Amino acid sequence: MRALIVGAGAVGQVYGRHLAMGGADVSFLVKPKHEAACRHGFTVYPLSETGTPARRFEGFGILTDPGRAQDSAWDQVWLAVPSTALREGDWLAPLGRATGHATIVFLPPNLDDRSLLTDLVADERIVDGIIGFLAYAAPLPGETRFAEPGIAYWSPPLSPSAFSGAADRVRAVVAALRAGDLPAVQRNDVMRSLPFLNAILYGYLAALELADWSFAKLREGDSLAIAGRAAREAMAIGAAAVARPVPLRLRLASSSWLVRIGSRFAPWFMPLPLEPYLRAHFTKIGGQVRIGLQTYVDLGTREGLPTDALAKLTHALPPAA
């Protein structure tokens, strides 16, 4: 199986490594400025393995021109890039044309991102996915356990990457990851869950950023209450967008009292420093978070739904770094 990974960041490296472990012939499509670094190969740290060993990932191909993708026959093309990258430059259309009938594995960060792809390629080629792991550029500030810089990642228990789309294409994606020992499952429609998951995530992330990425500061004053209202507003907007009621489990998960408790105890159970991880990762993709928040505000305004808390957080955030 031949797989082309668009983007060699943390997510792309993890999926690429496990596809290769399962026997796939993997290549990366990157910007020319990243080519030299990629040719040295990658160091990755699977945090689920005892002792956090360094693993080398190399032997993959590298492309820097989307048009050159037509030189090979691809089975799967993985879009492992943030929302901002989807909107930059003119690379998505040439890539779609150059990859024939290959499955496009799309990890849509925001509500309206999928339309950027369906305007260019046939919908039946697309497999939608939700990332089931945390990955970051290690070491984070204060970490001393890594022998050299690399990508560290952790798959939480009972949280596999989930995919939906045409059954035969989804089965091939799930099988390729499982062959490489990365948890993956087939779902009916992951896009119907995405608006609710992002609603919770973005509301609290915005409040946490305004609290200087400190859980202790987030728990002060009314920050958590505002974040909870923003999450509920965004979930109601998401429910209107996908014509589906907000699932009860997600309504409960969005409650500020649960986040208050979780923010105290989650850092004790996770194999990574949570506050530094959130600061580093979501500062890096801050543009994507802001696009997502603004999308909820715009959709809510269009549908006549409340957006007061969402708008308050969105306007209070500084421009993305």
102-135 burial code (b ≥16 CB/10 A, e <16): bbbbbbbbbbebbeebeeebeeebbbbbbbbbbb
Closest CA to 9 of 25, 23, 28: 28
Closest CA to 293 of 315, 278, 260: 315
What pLDDT score was predicted for residue 132? 96
Q: Which pLDDT tens digit goes with each residue over 143-159?
A: 999 989 999 999 999 99
- Maximum separation of any 2 CA atoms in the chain, in Å: 58
Domain covering 2-190, topology: Rossmann fold (3.40.50)
What pLDDT score was predicted for residue 96? 94
Which part of the chain is CATH 3.40.50.720? 2-190
Pseudo-torsion of CA 77, 80, 83, 84, nearest 10°?
-100
49-67 burial code (b ≥16 CB/10 A, e <16): eeebeeeebeebeebeebe
Place of tokens 């421009």: 319
What pLDDT score was predicted for residue 229? 97
**Would you say 108 and 127 are in contact if contact means Cβ atoms under 8 Å apart?**
no
What pLDDT score was predicted for residue 225? 95
Other CB atoms within 10 Å distance of the CB of residue 146: 15
In DSSP terms, which residues pair with 186 in a beta bridge?
163
Sites in the chain below the pLDDT cut of 70: none
Q: Which pLDDT tens digit goes with each residue over 238-271?
A: 999 999 999 888 888 889 999 999 999 999 999 9
Beta strands in 121-200 (DSSP E): 126-130, 134-138, 150-154, 161-164, 184-186
